[in-house]
């Protein structure tokens, strides 16, 4: 492992290798185009066969739109939604109400309010209104749901399905209750459906690759790390929820205008099953997976339905039509979970090597900037202003009776390296968790420069200027090395006019990690993972950096390299560093000041050589070490 | 006054049923870390066993015992077949597996046992009312409340006083440490599901006593509410689950009273909506996990 941050050498190396740093937009554009093309090839020719097949084809395309819609939320956040069919159903009913001719509505909805009765919009305006209404409902439902995680979130989405189902049945004056809503113009043809599919796929890719999508995927991998990089998780969840609800609503409207008549049971358990099977088979994290999984399941379901009809012909005792279908769907879901939980595509998207230049904007500019030296100015980060510092003031923390910290004060100046040491259980980790906002303190105050940040959220503290690394490395393992950096660059917003990729690539060059740029972060060697974590924290452009046992698990040579790296970071960026480690060799060589805590109290503080001689330290810490 | 007390007993008896269901969900979640989506189908199985046991002429109380035991057995089998192969997978996979299983079971009931609800005749003394302090209260309600109290109390005793109960609590605290202490993982899995199944069985009997018939979707609606009760109570908290169940029962009765009869279809949506709104203000549920969010 070598750490080399010699700019000259690096930029030369980059020029030599001409690394492919293809833009996010370019790659996604290829995938999107390829997917659309595949769907079109598979569907358009079949649509000429006859009216029945044509309708099946259109419904499959609409299912793809719906599944892509779900994947906008579930794929990026990793939280499965089993309630999105609610938006689909509401979209169908709303567009039905908006477009169906007053004469027909008069027949089965005599109590409809006047203005709805007289409305007779065409498809496009109706869909726009459906989109707006779905977005609004998304906002309403997303507010509580974006605050939930894991199982709670999934269950809460499920209750949405139940709410919408009973509401649709109950609102008889608008929906005809349990009976069919009919007479909707069947105006959607294959081309309209494909058009909206293009839109849906486009939106899905754009969102996935946007900073919001990137941050959401970071959250999916590791919520705590994402928050520590300044990611406002709940807001990102809400955004993606709203977008995906909107797509779902529009898909529902298209469905209504394809089938012409429907009842609430079309938007309930079975539909949910169908869409979830489609999503899971392809792989929940992949848009390509959503598209291909849907096609696969849809074809399979058509076959199953035909088998069921066959039974009818032979006059055997026939289960209701949907019986076998649901059985198959359940079986498929279980099978995928047992055999290939991440689906056919995992987290990859389909691409073809020769399509790299499809995106009209050329990549030339990218190469130019990449050969530039990284652009950090010392005054951008460390101010060197004496009055400013990271300060914990008389911090006390009680864990139900146990006092973990008792009036601990600590201060880090910009450009200064402070070591925090102490035996196991001394309270180091507690202090770090309090400073970074993952624990709430019992008493005391924390400041960054002149700002009091006591009990701020993790993300606000990160954005206020405190970067951190973790004792057990917490990279976004399913993101690439470069994307890891891009997450904190994007949260920080200020990246001197450069694109996310360029800024991130510059950081990688800075840490000599550029050759791993496109590897998944979880797959690079351990030492590099540690460095990447430091790089990711620095990419936030913090004024203070908190390193939690960076040398843990490193051998002597590796920790020597780390020492060099950290010294360099301090001088080049002027950040104040608070470092916790058990590697005393590293601490003594690196730190300007060392603070020793034991049993929740500061027992010594001063220059490394003074500390080493202090009797109370030897007794509490070094003394036991020598035994 | 009399009406008020009748409403309160109604709320308590309905809430008790939800509480037992929620308790079964919460105990699995608390110990094994995932929600069993097919929990409602265990309740349905109990209902069908009860129906067929009585159909072949077994006495009522004996049928109930068999039904509840079979619910426990069904839960253990469910764990063996559907969840054990996925052990160690993330909670979401397990939830989806339960979701798929629930669908498959419902369809099996429908196809093999028929679509129409099967009436489970209750003994006559069940349907009457008793006079307590000059006020008439339905026997079913009284029995439901009593059974809920006894079940919760018995579960509490079991968890705190028996060796196996204590090892379950230890597993809930920290599964891997519990294993290191020599507690067998398979026993924990089966035991947890058995308890959860028994609770679902008891809830199923109470549900039947109040509704009178079993159908293939019997477990579905109460389960959704029990889900919400466990979230509202605080995921995995047993006390919270009971609390959430009773809160749900109370809400349901309140809306039953204030909604005009033609709007009653909106009762469940409104109750669910109300509960989700609670989550807006307390995302962690009413009884928050005591553990600090620390790694």
Query: What is the third-level CATH fold of A378-465+542-626?
Result: Rossmann fold (3.40.50)
Interface of A with B in 262-291 (CB under 8 A): 269, 273, 276, 280
Chain segment B170-180, per-residue pLDDT in tens: 888 888 888 88
Q: How far is CA B291 from CA A152, A401, A427, B288, B295, in A?
A: 17, 14, 17, 9, 11
* Rounded Cα gap, residues A614 and A422, in angstroms: 13
pLDDT at residue A485 in the model: 93
Query: Which has the higher per-residue pLDDT, B209 or A18?
Result: B209
For chain A, the average pLDDT equals: 84
Residue B234 included in any domain: no
Place of tokens 């360029």: A502
Q: How far is CA A456 from CA A216, A406, A448, in A?
A: 21, 21, 11
Contact A439 B107 (CB under 8 A): no
Q: Which residues of B touch A145 (CB under 8 A)?
A: 276
Query: Which has the higher per-residue pLDDT, A348 or A318?
Result: A348
Chain segment A105-127, per-residue pLDDT in tens: 988 888 888 888 888 899 999 99
State yes or no: pLDDT of A191 exceeds 80.
yes
Q: Identify the closest residue of chain A to B267 by CA–CA distance.
A: A166
Which of A130-134, A160-164, A578-582, B99-103 tops mean pLDDT? A130-134
Select from A204, A202, A285, A199 the least CA-distant residue to A243. Answer: A204
Q: Check if the beta carbon of residue A594 is closer than 8 Å to that of residue A419.
A: yes
* Rounded Cα gap, residues B23 and B141, in angstroms: 19
Arithmetic mean of pLDDT, A542-554: 88
Interface of A with B in 431-450 (CB under 8 A): 433, 438-439
The residues of chain A that CATH labels 3.40.50.300 are 378-465+542-626
Q: Is B99 an 8 Å CB contact of chain A?
A: yes
Which of A240-249, A322-331, A401-410, A502-511 tops mean pLDDT? A240-249
Helix (H, G, I), strand (E, B) or coil at A82: coil
Interface of B with A in 207-246 (CB under 8 A): 221, 224, 227-228, 230-231, 235
First to last CA, chain A: 34
Half-sphere exposure of B81 (CA within 13 A, CB side): 12
Locate B190 and state its tokens: 């089966």
pLDDT at residue A366 in the model: 42
Arithmetic mean of pLDDT, A319-332: 76
- Between strands A544-548 and A576-580, the pairing is parallel
Q: How far is CA B211 from CA A23, A170, B14, B205, B254, in A?
A: 62, 22, 11, 10, 19
Residue B277 included in any domain: no
State yes or no: pLDDT of A134 exceeds 50.
yes
Arithmetic mean of pLDDT, B178-187: 83
In chain A, pLDDT over 90 holds for what percent of residues?
44
Asked if the ipTM is above 0.85, the reply is yes
Residue range(s) defining the domain that contains residue B132: 2-219
* Rounded Cα gap, residues A389 and A396, in angstroms: 20
3-state secondary structure string across A346-413: CCCCCCCHHHCCCCCCCCHHHHHHHCCCCCCCHHHHCCCCCCCCEEEEEEEEEECCEEEEEEEEEEEC
Half-sphere exposure of A460 (CA within 13 A, CB side): 10
pLDDT at residue B288 in the model: 63
Interface test mutation site (partner A, options B38, B92, B289, max chain A beta carbons within 10 A): B92
State yes or no: pLDDT of A290 exceeds 90.
yes
Grade residue A295 by pLDDT with cuts at 50, 70 and 90: very high
Place of tokens 């999508």: A213
Residue B289 included in any domain: no
Residue B285 included in any domain: no
- Between strands A402-412 and A417-421, the pairing is unpaired
First to last CA, chain B: 53
Chain segment A480-499, per-residue pLDDT in tens: 999 999 999 888 766 566 77
Contact A159 B104 (CB under 8 A): no
Grade residue A28 by pLDDT with cuts at 50, 70 and 90: confident
For chain B, the average pLDDT equals: 87
Q: Check if the beta carbon of residue A274 is closer than 8 Å to that of residue A329.
A: yes
Chain segment B57-107, per-residue pLDDT in tens: 899 889 999 999 999 999 999 999 989 888 878 888 899 999 999 999 998
Q: Check if the beta carbon of residue B194 is closer than 8 Å to that of residue B76.
A: yes
Contact A159 B99 (CB under 8 A): no
Chain segment A506-533, per-residue pLDDT in tens: 888 888 888 888 889 999 988 889 999 9
Looking at the structure of chain B, the number of domains it has is 1
Helix (H, G, I), strand (E, B) or coil at A120: coil
Interface of B with A in 155-194 (CB under 8 A): none
Grade residue A370 by pLDDT with cuts at 50, 70 and 90: very low
Query: Which has the higher per-residue pLDDT, A19 or A348?
Result: A348
Q: Is A450 exposed, middle or buried (0-12, 13-18, 19+ CB in 10 A)?
A: exposed
Helix (H, G, I), strand (E, B) or coil at A299: helix
Residue B79 included in any domain: yes
């Amino acid at each position: 492992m070598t750490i080399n941050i010699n700019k000259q050498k690096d930029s030369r190396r980059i020029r030599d290798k001409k690394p492919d740093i293809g833009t996010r937009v370019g790659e996604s554009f290829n995938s999107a185009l390829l997917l659309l093309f595949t769907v079109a090839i598979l569907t358009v020719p079949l649509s000429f066969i006859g009216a029945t097949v044509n309708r099946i084809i259109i419904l499959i395309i609409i299912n793809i739109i719906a599944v892509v819609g779900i994947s906008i939320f579930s794929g990026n956040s990793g939280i499965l939604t089993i309630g999105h069919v609610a938006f689909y159903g509401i979209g169908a009913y709303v567009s039905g109400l908006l477009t169906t001719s007053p004469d027909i509505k008069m027949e089965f909805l005599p109590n409809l309010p006047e203005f709805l009765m007289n409305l007779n919009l065409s498809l496009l305006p109706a869909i726009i209104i459906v989109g707006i209404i779905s977005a609004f409902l998304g906002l309403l439902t997303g507010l509580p749901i974006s605050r939930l995680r894991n199982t709670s979130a999934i269950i809460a989405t499920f209750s949405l399905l139940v709410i919408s189902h009973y509401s649709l049945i109950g609102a008889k004056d608008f929906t005809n209750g349990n009976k069919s809503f009919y007479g909707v113009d069947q105006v959607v043809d294959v081309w309209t459906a494909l058009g909206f599919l293009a839109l849906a796929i486009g939106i899905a890719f754009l969102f996935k690759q946007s900073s919001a999508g990137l941050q959401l995927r970071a959250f999916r991998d590791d919520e705590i790390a994402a928050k520590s990089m300044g990611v406002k998780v709940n807001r990102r969840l809400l955004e993606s929820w709203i977008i995906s609800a909107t797509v779902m609503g529009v898909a529902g409207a298209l469905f209504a205008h394809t089938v012409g008549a429907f009842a609430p049971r079309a938007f309930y358990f079975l539909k949910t099953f169908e869409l979830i099977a489609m999503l899971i088979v392809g792989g929940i994290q992949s848009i390509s997976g959503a598209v291909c999984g849907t096609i696969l399941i849809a074809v399979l379901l058509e076959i199953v339905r035909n088998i069921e009809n066959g039974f009818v012909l032979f006059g055997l005792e026939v289960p209701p039509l949907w019986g076998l279908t649901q059985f198959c769907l359940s079986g498929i879901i279980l099978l995928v979970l047992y055999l290939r939980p991440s689906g056919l595509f995992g987290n990859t998207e389909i691409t073809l090597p020769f399509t790299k230049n499809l995106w009209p904007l050329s990549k030339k500019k990218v190469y130019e900037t990449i050969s530039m030296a990284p652009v950090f100015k010392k005054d951008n980060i460390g101010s060197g202003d004496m009055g400013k510092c990271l300060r914990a003031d008389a911090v006390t923390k009680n864990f139900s009776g146990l006092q973990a910290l008792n009036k601990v004060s600590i201060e880090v100046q910009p450009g200064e390296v402070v070591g925090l040491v102490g035996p196991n259980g001394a309270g180091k980790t507690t202090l770090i968790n309090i400073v970074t906002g993952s624990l709430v303190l019992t008493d005391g105050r924390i400041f960054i420069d002149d700002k009091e940040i006591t009990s701020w959220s993790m993300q606000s503290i990160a954005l206020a200027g405190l970067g951190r690394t973790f004792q057990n490395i917490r990279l976004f393992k399913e993101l690439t090395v470069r994307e890891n950096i891009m997450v904190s660059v994007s949260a920080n917003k200020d990246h001197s006019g450069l694109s996310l990729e360029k800024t991130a690539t510059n950081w990688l060059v800075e840490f000599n990690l550029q050759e791993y740029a496109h590897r998944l972060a979880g797959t690079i060697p351990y030492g590099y993972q540690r460095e990447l974590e430091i790089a990711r924290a620095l990419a936030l452009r913090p004024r203070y950096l908190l390193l939690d046992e960076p040398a843990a698990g490193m051998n002597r040579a590796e920790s020597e390299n780390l020492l060099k790296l950290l010294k360099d970071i301090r001088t080049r960026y002027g950040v104040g560093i608070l470092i916790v480690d058990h590697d005393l060799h590293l601490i003594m060589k690196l730190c300007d000041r060392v603070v020793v805590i034991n049993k929740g109290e500061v027992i010594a503080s001063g220059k490394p050589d003074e500390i080493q001689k202090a009797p109370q330290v030897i007794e509490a810490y070094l003394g036991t070490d020598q035994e | 006054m009399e009406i008020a007390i009748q409403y309160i007993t109604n709320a308590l008896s309905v809430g008790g049923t939800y509480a037992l269901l929620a308790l079964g969900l919460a105990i699995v979640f608390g110990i094994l870390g995932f929600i069993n989506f097919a929990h409602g189908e265990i309740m349905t199985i109990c209902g069908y066993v009860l129906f067929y046991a009585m159909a072949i002429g077994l006495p009522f109380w004996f049928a109930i015992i068999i039904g509840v035991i079979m619910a426990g057995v069904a839960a253990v089998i469910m764990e063996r077949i559907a969840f054990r192969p996925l052990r160690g997978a993330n909670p979401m996979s397990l939830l989806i597996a339960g979701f798929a299983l629930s669908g498959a079971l419902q369809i099996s009931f429908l196809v093999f046992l028929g679509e129409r609800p099967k009436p489970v005749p209750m003994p006559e003394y069940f349907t009457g009312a008793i006079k307590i302090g000059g006020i008439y209260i339905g026997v079913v309600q009284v029995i439901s409340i009593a059974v809920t109290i006894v079940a919760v109390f018995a579960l509490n005793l079991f968890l705190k006083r028996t060796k196996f109960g204590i090892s379950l609590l230890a597993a809930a605290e920290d599964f891997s440490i519990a294993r290191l202490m020599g507690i067998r993982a398979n026993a924990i899995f089966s035991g947890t599901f058995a308890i959860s199944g028994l609770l679902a069985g008891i809830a199923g009997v109470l549900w039947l006593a109040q509704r009178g018939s079993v159908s293939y979707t019997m477990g579905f609606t109460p389960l959704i509410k029990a889900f919400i009760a466990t979230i509202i109570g605080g995921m995995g908290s047993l006390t919270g689950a009971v609390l959430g169940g009773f809160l749900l029962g109370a809400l349901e009765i309140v809306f039953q009273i204030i909604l005009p009869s033609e709007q009653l279809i909106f009762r469940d949506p409104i109750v669910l909506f109300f509960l989700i709104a609670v989550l807006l203000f307390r995302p962690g549920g009413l009884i928050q996990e005591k553990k600090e969010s620390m790694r």
